[in-house]
Structure 1
Amino acid sequence: MEIAIIALCIPAGWAISRPFVRIAESFGYC
């Protein structure tokens, strides 16, 4: 799961998975 979080933190991944990024931010990973 950590790898997925890192991928979400990547600008490209962020653009692809905006909803998931917001979830990650909620958990405080980003």
Structure 2
Amino acid sequence: MARYLIQLLEARKRLWAERLERLAAYLAKH
């Protein structure tokens, strides 16, 4: 159970990191 939660958190963290990188790239262009 704990392992499942950790995997979920890691996946979410990765998703947010990608989203923030994309946002930063978008803001840098404009």
TM-score (normalizing by structure 2): 0.36
Greater gyration radius: 2
- Could you say which structure has the higher helix fraction? 2
Q: Which has the higher contact order (CA 8 A, sep 6+)?
A: 1
TM-score normalised to structure 1 length: 0.36
